[in-house]
Amino acid sequence: MTFGGFGFIIHTSQQWRCRLESFDLRRHYIYTPEMLMCTPEADQIISEWGVFSMVNVPEMFGSLVFNDETMKKYLPKGTYKALKKTIEDGKPLDIAIANIVAHAMKEWAIENGATHYTHWFQPMTGITAEKHDSFISPTAGGGVIMEFSGKELIKGEPDASSFPSGGIRATFEARGYTAWDPTSYAFIKDGSLCIPTAFCSYTGEALDKKTPLLRSMECINTQALRVLRAFGDNETTHVSTTVGPEQEYFLVDKKVFDKRKDLIYCGRTLFGARPPKGQELDDHYFGSIKPRVSAFMKDLDEALWKYGILAKTKHNEVAPAQHELAPIFDTTNIATDHNQLTMEIMKKVAEKHGLVCLLHEKPFAGVNGSGKHNNWSMSTNTGKNLLEPTKHPRQNIQFLTFLAAVIRAVDENQDLLRISVASAGNDHRLGANEAPPAIISMYLGDDLTEVLHSVLSGEDYTADGRPIMETTAEVLPNFTKDTSDRNRTSPFAFTGNKFEFRMVGSSENIACANFMINTMVADVLQDFADQLEKAEDVNSAAEALIKKTVEEHKRIIFNGNNYSEEWVKEAEKRGLLNLRSLPEALPLYTTEKNIRLFTKHNVLTEVELRSRCDVLLEKYSKIINIEALTALDMAKKDIVPAVTSYIKELAQTVSLIKSVDPELVPAAQTELLKKLNNLLNCFVKKIDALDKAVVGAKEIENVADNAMYFKESVLSAMQELRAVADEMEANMSSKAWPYPSYGAMLFSV
């Protein structure tokens, strides 16, 4: 529905009254804020007039979450205290307490419109899973009552047979368990009370992404505390890792999306000639946000706030149609749950606005892909950030110790960091345009690098605190500079008081990157603690330890341009890994070093590790198989017929011109006809080659070999097919091409 004319919205206490006057129809709407936000009319109003404000954020924030405040309100004091204690101590919940908590949760959920509950978990596929049970329980008189017991809260038993396990659990032993993670609040989504849970097999192996993450948080807590104690800190009782994931995404118009099978089946385009304009002007980055996108972002913020998600920053990204959302950081497992929820809500809110949110790492060739900058740090329960350099980092031996631990962890575990972000989608991004390269290195910035130099050389570090930044304009205040500038090309950059791991793909679950970072850092901290606990003078022992660590691992530090060709060569000289694709990286997952690392800290057993490796390899092959079949379908059913018709049209034009006057020479049409005919012949050969490549994969049983085959033979055959299609598209009338162009997709909103 479109409105002409004018309109206005008035806010009364409970209702939003909006009056729309149009030339051909007069309407008077009364909406509650809730309704107004989700009607097409409202979207129209917002986008046309930009009128809509006055949202009570504090009241809205967390309104769908059974958070601390709600717990206090709904739980008897004793139960609340007992629950908090079990959460803090990480002990199993007493069934009597669980029953009271479950009852309160159910009462609250029903009051807020829920009828069902579900154990919400994160299987190894990377998406979240849920199976909904209603609260109803029959009564003697043929009626029902709403029930929810402590047992149902603590443990669920979904049939697990269709979730990937990498061979851990045979399908006939389909039993899987979900166990409540009381550290992450329950919430209401689509009429269901969602209980964040871990998911494991009958025999106790982890089948999800949350379990190893929780285990890794425990192990880094243990080791970091030991280091703090060695430094004489007797106050801190808990160290947690914190994460703020910046989420990138694309928005395209739903009508355009629906016409592209590749976007529908694969989430990325498999064909498409380059548009005349891409991102070369960088004019989209931080540009003013278009009204329709702005309305989407506003709606999204509000939806996220209701789930207690601290959505904070939003802006346009570099590529056209690309945007970013950053939340305020939280402890790792909560940040992970929230990021999973954020991705889901983004998709839903987009639909309401007639848009589709693309989370794929590389939806369009030739423009930037999307990632998820994983900002990571460690903080104490007393509120101290252990990666805060403070004013005098050279004197802050404790900070330098933690910094050194991260440096060594990254250098020793380059393979794992690369594996933690490996996926079929992310392979297109790593090393491509503007993305961090597949080589792992760390950026520390000039100041910290100087500090470490002074540790190595024993010379004084002269900078007296942080330098003052002069803004040169009288009216602007001068401010203290961060200890590191931004280096947008580094995959693992120190950004003031945290590390930003930039390789994570936009659609990936951040649990994987974080359980690996936590474990590798914990492993080094354990070694440091072993040494510092024995030391007579902890400061001089730490100084020596930092010096040794930096000497041995300085090759991983690189402050220059990671996108340059020289760096690739230099990195090779330094002996750094360059694992360009998943099939190259994954075999390193199960090396002796990695089995030792994960088993030593009880994060993954060897069986779990091997199964995870297989799941990733299988998924990679499946994705490329789907992409290949989609490309074949598009090629055979749409592209070949479209080009054939266009050639026919040209041929008819040629003979028509000749029939008018045999002296006339239809040279242009004939040339184009020949060109397209040649391309079409070539295209059909490439179709045949891809067909054969897909069939060939069936013969390779070993999962690792199969994945490698998909990369070497199938993916490359797809790329060859695409090149010909794109050339045909560039030479045809846009009306004759069967799909919306790149220009139409990228500039559709």
Q: What distance in Å separates the CA atoms of residue 210 and residue 491, rounded to the nearest whole number?
A: 24
Residue 498, binding choice from Mg ion, ligand ADP, none, Cβ under 5 to 8 Å by partner class: ligand ADP
Q: Cβ(506)–Cβ(247) under 8 Å?
A: yes
Residue 711, binding choice from ligand ADP, Mg ion, none, Cβ under 5 to 8 Å by partner class: none
- Please identify, using beta-carbon distances, which residue of 260 and 429 lies nearer to Mg ion: 429
Residue 101, binding choice from Mg ion, ligand ADP, none, Cβ under 5 to 8 Å by partner class: none
Instruction: Report the nearest approach of Mg ion to the CB of residue 488 (Å).
Output: 8
Does the footprint of Mg ion cover residue 314 (CB under 5 A)?
Answer: no
Candidates 40-48, 373-381, 479-487, 610-618: pick the segment binding Mg ion (CB under 5 A): 373-381
- Please identify, using beta-carbon distances, which residue of 485 and 720 lies nearer to ligand ADP: 485
Give the residue among 576, 615, 554 at the shortest CA–CA distance from 438.
576
Residue 377, binding choice from ligand ADP, Mg ion, none, Cβ under 5 to 8 Å by partner class: ligand ADP
What count of other Cβ atoms lies within 10 Å of the Cβ of residue 661? 8
Does the footprint of ligand ADP cover residue 246 (CB under 6 A)?
Answer: yes
Strands 136-138 and 144-146: antiparallel
* Distance, C-alpha 586 to centroid of its chain: 20
How many chain residues bind ligand ADP (CB under 6 A)?
Answer: 17
Candidates 123-131, 463-471, 497-505, 623-631: pick the segment binding ligand ADP (CB under 6 A): 497-505
Give the residue among 221, 220, 224, 216 at the shortest CA–CA distance from 401.
224
Give the residue among 372, 262, 304, 358 at the shortest CA–CA distance from 748.
358
Does the footprint of ligand ADP cover residue 377 (CB under 6 A)?
Answer: yes
Does the footprint of Mg ion cover residue 429 (CB under 5 A)?
Answer: no
Q: Which residues are within 8 A (CB) of 488 and not within 5 positions of it... i.e. 6 or more apart?
A: none
Residue type, 609: L
User: CA–CA distance from 587 to each of 27, 418, 513, 610 (Å)?
Assistant: 65, 12, 17, 10
Does the footprint of ligand ADP cover residue 244 (CB under 6 A)?
Answer: yes
Residue in 63, 115, 385, 539 binding ligand ADP, rule: CB under 6 A: 385
Candidates 202-210, 371-379, 418-426, 671-679: pick the segment binding ligand ADP (CB under 6 A): 371-379
Joined together, the tokens standing for residue 178 give 């979900």
Residue 196, binding choice from ligand ADP, Mg ion, none, Cβ under 5 to 8 Å by partner class: none
Give the x/- contact pattern for ligand ADP in 446-485, rule: CB under 6 A. Answer: ----------------------------------------
Q: Which residues are within 8 A (CB) of 439 and not within 5 positions of it... i.e. 6 or more apart?
A: 491, 562, 567, 568, 571, 576, 577, 578
Q: Cβ(597)–Cβ(656) under 8 Å?
A: no
How many chain residues bind Mg ion (CB under 5 A)?
Answer: 2
Does the footprint of Mg ion cover residue 373 (CB under 5 A)?
Answer: yes
- Please identify, using beta-carbon distances, which residue of 74 and 443 lies nearer to ligand ADP: 443
∠226-229-233 over CA atoms, to 5°?
A: 140
Sign of the alpha-carbon torsion through 115, 176, 343, 748? negative
Q: What distance in Å separates the CA atoms of residue 335 and residue 341, rounded to the nearest whole number?
A: 10
Candidates 107-115, 243-251, 274-282, 699-707: pick the segment binding Mg ion (CB under 5 A): 243-251
Give the residue closest to ligand ADP by C-beta: 244
Using CB under 6 A as the binding rule, the residues of this chain from 661 to 720 that contact ligand ADP are none
Give the residue closest to Mg ion by C-beta: 373
- Please identify, using beta-carbon distances, which residue of 156 and 496 lies nearer to ligand ADP: 496
Helix residue ranges per DSSP H, 19-149: 33-37, 40-49, 57-60, 68-74, 77-89, 95-111
Region label for 321, one of left (φ > 0), alpha (ψ between -120 and 50) or beta (otherwise) = left
Instruction: Report the nearest approach of ligand ADP to the CB of residue 429 (Å).
Output: 17
- Please identify, using beta-carbon distances, which residue of 116 and 373 lies nearer to Mg ion: 373
How many residues are listed for the chain in this entry?
Answer: 749
- Please identify, using beta-carbon distances, which residue of 246 and 447 lies nearer to Mg ion: 246
Q: Cβ(725)–Cβ(269) under 8 Å?
A: no
- Please identify, using beta-carbon distances, which residue of 356 and 417 lies nearer to ligand ADP: 417
Q: What's phi and psi for 586, nearest 5 deg?
A: -60, -40
Give the residue among 341, 307, 342 at the shortest CA–CA distance from 325.
342
Residue 385, binding choice from Mg ion, ligand ADP, none, Cβ under 5 to 8 Å by partner class: ligand ADP
Residue 253, binding choice from Mg ion, ligand ADP, none, Cβ under 5 to 8 Å by partner class: none
- Please identify, using beta-carbon distances, which residue of 260 and 372 lies nearer to ligand ADP: 372
Candidates 84-92, 289-297, 495-503, 517-525: pick the segment binding ligand ADP (CB under 6 A): 495-503
Using CB under 6 A as the binding rule, the residues of this chain from 310 to 339 that contact ligand ADP are 313, 326-329
Cβ neighbourhood burial of 235 (10 Å; 0-12, 13-18, 19+): exposed
Q: What distance in Å separates the CA atoms of residue 88 and residue 90, rounded to the nearest whole number?
A: 6
- Please identify, using beta-carbon distances, which residue of 324 and 361 lies nearer to ligand ADP: 324
Candidates 118-126, 368-376, 523-531, 735-743: pick the segment binding ligand ADP (CB under 6 A): 368-376
Using CB under 5 A as the binding rule, the residues of this chain from 244 to 263 that contact Mg ion are 246
Sign of the alpha-carbon torsion through 284, 288, 294, 298? positive
Instruction: Report the nearest approach of ligand ADP to the CB of residue 327 (Å).
Output: 6
Give the x/- contact pattern for ligand ADP in 149-188, rule: CB under 6 A. Answer: ----------------------------------------
Residue in 375, 441, 490, 713 binding ligand ADP, rule: CB under 6 A: 375
Which residues of this chain interact with Mg ion, rule CB under 5 A?
246, 373
The footprint of ligand ADP (CB under 6 A) covers: 242-244, 246, 313, 326-329, 373, 375-377, 385, 497-498, 500
